[in-house]
Each structure stands twice: as structure tokens, then as C-alpha cells.
């Protein structure tokens, strides 16, 4: 038990729990078995953590399940445990950027961020490098790292390209996806709808993103997945901001109903066309605000 706790602490994981499956007895033998399994998965880099409702400390303090990506997705390729903490930090920073807790143009001071996230500066630097490669962070001479600040024109361009990518992915998924894969995407939609009914915006957006990335994954095209992941990350903040109002939130739910129906029917051409328009609708929601911000920035 002590060894497992020490290992978890080494990687900055504040807390975790393990619950025996139905019919098991919660005794020392069963708990030890569960802990050994968690320890094994952690050693192979395949265990991600869920932050708790009242996390003790560390990067988990940012909130309960605030990641916008599937928490296990980042470790599917079996990254070494030494990389796990920096990847977790990078995902937390993406969330802070998307929710405007780190605003466009804001300088990212390493010492301040390290204290805020309760992590050392070495994995933080690695996380910032990852965000820079994503285009979420820009490194400027004599200023260090700052949150990327896209102009209205840049946002529109990226959303246009993302729409084409998702359209292609949707068409391919209709041909390549297995029935179980489509069933899983449908299940994600039901979970997203439940988050909508609870007005749980964080989980709603996380599941929304999971649906889109799962459709791309079902297309079974590694290059498509890589390009989509990179561009989608650059647009996290803007897609999240586009889902803020109640009106756009309800519209998105209705549009996802259509996406799931077309995918289930394997109507590739129709799904591709609808996904292109679905992504473009994000810009229609963002355009007025983005253009006002660009005008204000130009006036400075």
C-alpha cells in the first residue's frame, strides 16, 4: 500500500480510488489486488487519473473531470510513466486556456504556474513545449511563453479547414467504422445529452469533443487523426466559447442528433456535408465577438 501511494505521489496524482466489482468482498486481499493492478498500469504509463470532488492538492485542484479529452486517450500509445505528469499538466493548461482562466496574450510565468498547479518546473516546461507545438502557446523573445491570441481571420480559416477534415472523416467513418464503434459513439451522445440536461457544461463539452474525435478515429486514417488532433486543439477555446449560450447549446444538441442518425445509417455523403456545416456554425456563433476583440486589439 505504501509503495503504491509513494508511486502515485511521485507522478503528482493527488488521489485515486479503486472499487471492487459487483459481488466482490472489500477485504484486504481484494483491495491489494486492485492496488497491484493500478500500480502495474501506472508503471506501463497506461493509468490516467480522475480528479476527485475534493482533491487534496496538486493539479487536481483545477476541478472534477475538467479535461476536454478522454483521459485515457493520451496514453493509448504506452508512453513511459516519466512522460505522464507533463502530459497531465498540458491537458490542465488546455482547459485553463479554453475556459479563459488563462487569457489570449497572457504571459505564462513558470514560477507562478508551477505554484498554482503545485508541480515542479521541469515537467511544466515540457508541458509548455507541447502546447507550443499545438499552437496554443507562442514563445516570444524576451517575453517567454504567452497564450496564443488568434485573430478573427485566423479563427475563421482554421474552422474552415477543420470543417473539411471532419467532413472527410465522417464520410470515411461511414465506410470503415464497425457496428460496435458506432454504438460507442451513440453511447457518448447519450452521455452528452445527460450532461446537457444537468447543465454540466464541462462534461458536456468533453463528451462533445469525444464524439468528434471518435468519428475521426473510426475513419481509420492515422494521418487524418494526427492533423485533426493538432488543429482541434488550437480551436479548443473558441469551440468552448461557442457553446456558452443556452441557445447555441440547444442547437448543438439537435445537430448532434442528426450526426448520430446519419452515422448510424452510414449515409457518408450526407454526414460529410452536415459535419462541414456543423463546424462552420461555430464561427457563426463566434464571429461577432471575435471581430469586436480584433478591432479592440488593433486600436491599442
Q: What is the pLDDT of residues 88-134, one digit of tens each?
A: 999 999 989 988 899 999 999 999 999 999 999 999 999 999 999 88
CA distance 83 to 162: 29
Ordered by start, the domain boundaries in the chain are 2-147, 152-299
C-alpha grid cell for residue 17?
480510488
CA distance 79 to 43: 10
C-alpha grid cell for residue 241?
466559447
Report which DSSP code applies to 51: -
pLDDT exceeds 60 at position 271:
yes
Q: pLDDT (tens digit, 9 = 90+) per residue, 4-44?
A: 444 444 444 444 433 444 443 344 444 444 444 444 444 43
Residues in the chain: 300
Which residue bears the cell 442528433?
A: 257
CA distance 5 to 180: 37
Report which DSSP code applies to 167: H
C-alpha grid cell for residue 99?
475556459
Q: Which of 1, 93, 91, 78 is nearest to 44 (CA)?
A: 78
Neighbouring CB atoms inside 10 A of 265's CB total: 12
CA distance 20 to 35: 11
CA distance 3 to 81: 16
Mean pLDDT confidence for 263-283: 93
CATH architecture of 2-147: Orthogonal Bundle (1.10)
Q: Largest Cα–Cα distance of the chain, in whole Å? A: 67
C-alpha grid cell for residue 141?
523573445
Q: 253 by DSSP, 3-state: which?
A: helix
**pLDDT, position 128:** 93
pLDDT exceeds 70 at position 79:
no
Q: Which of 136, 155, 101 is nearest to 291 (CA)?
A: 155
**pLDDT, position 81:** 52
- Say if domain 152-299 classifies as CATH 1.20.120.530: yes
C-alpha grid cell for residue 26?
472489500
Q: Are domains 2-147 and 152-299 of this chain identical in fold?
A: no
Mean pLDDT confidence for 249-275: 95
Which residue bears the cell 491570441?
A: 149
Report which DSSP code applies to 107: B
C-alpha grid cell for residue 170?
465522417
pLDDT exceeds 90 at position 226:
yes
- Burial bucket for residue 136 (CB in 10 Å: 0-12, 13-18, 19+): buried
Report which DSSP code applies to 39: H
Out of 71-85, 126-140, 160-174, 235-249, which region has the weakest mean confidence (pLDDT)? Answer: 71-85
CA distance 255 to 247: 12
Amino acid at each position: 500500500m505504501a509503495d503504491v501511494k509513494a508511486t502515485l505521489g511521485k507522478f503528482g496524482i493527488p488521489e485515486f480510488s479503486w472499487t471492487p466489482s459487483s459481488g466482490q468482498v472489500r477485504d484486504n486481499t481484494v483491495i491489494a489486488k486492485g492496488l497491484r493492478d493500478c500500480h502495474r498500469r501506472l508503471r506501463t504509463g497506461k493509468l490516467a487519473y480522475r480528479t476527485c470532488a475534493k482533491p487534496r492538492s496538486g493539479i487536481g485542484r483545477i476541478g472534477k473531470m475538467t479535461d476536454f479529452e478522454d483521459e485515457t486517450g493520451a496514453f493509448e500509445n504506452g508512453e513511459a510513466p516519466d512522460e505522464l505528469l507533463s502530459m497531465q499538466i498540458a491537458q490542465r493548461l488546455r482547459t485553463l486556456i479554453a475556459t479563459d482562466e488563462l487569457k489570449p496574450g497572457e504571459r505564462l510565468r513558470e514560477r507562478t504556474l508551477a505554484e498554482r498547479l503545485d508541480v515542479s518546473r521541469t515537467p511544466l516546461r515540457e508541458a509548455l513545449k507541447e502546447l507550443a507545438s499545438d499552437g496554443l502557446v507562442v514563445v516570444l523573445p524576451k517575453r517567454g511563453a504567452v497564450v496564443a491570441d488568434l485573430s478573427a481571420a485566423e479563427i475563421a480559416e482554421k474552422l474552415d479547414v477543420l470543417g473539411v477534415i471532419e467532413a472527410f472523416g465522417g464520410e470515411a467513418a461511414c465506410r470503415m467504422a464497425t457496428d460496435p464503434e458506432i454504438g460507442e459513439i451513440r453511447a457518448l451522445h447519450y452521455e452528452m445529452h445527460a450532461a446537457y440536461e444537468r447543465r454540466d457544461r464541462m462534461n458536456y463539452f468533453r463528451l462533445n469533443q469525444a464524439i468528434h474525435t471518435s468519428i475521426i478515429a473510426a475513419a481509420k486514417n492515422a494521418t487524418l487523426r494526427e492533423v485533426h488532433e493538432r488543429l482541434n486543439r488550437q480551436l479548443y477555446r473558441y469551440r468552448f466559447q461557442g457553446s456558452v449560450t443556452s441557445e447555441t447549446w440547444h442547437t448543438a444538441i439537435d445537430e448532434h442528433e442528426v450526426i448520430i442518425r446519419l452515422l448510424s445509417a452510414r449515409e457518408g455523403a450526407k454526414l460529410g456535408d452536415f459535419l462541414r456545416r456543423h463546424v462552420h456554425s461555430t464561427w457563426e456563433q463566434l464571429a461577432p465577438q471575435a471581430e469586436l476583440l480584433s478591432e479592440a486589439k488593433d486600436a491599442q
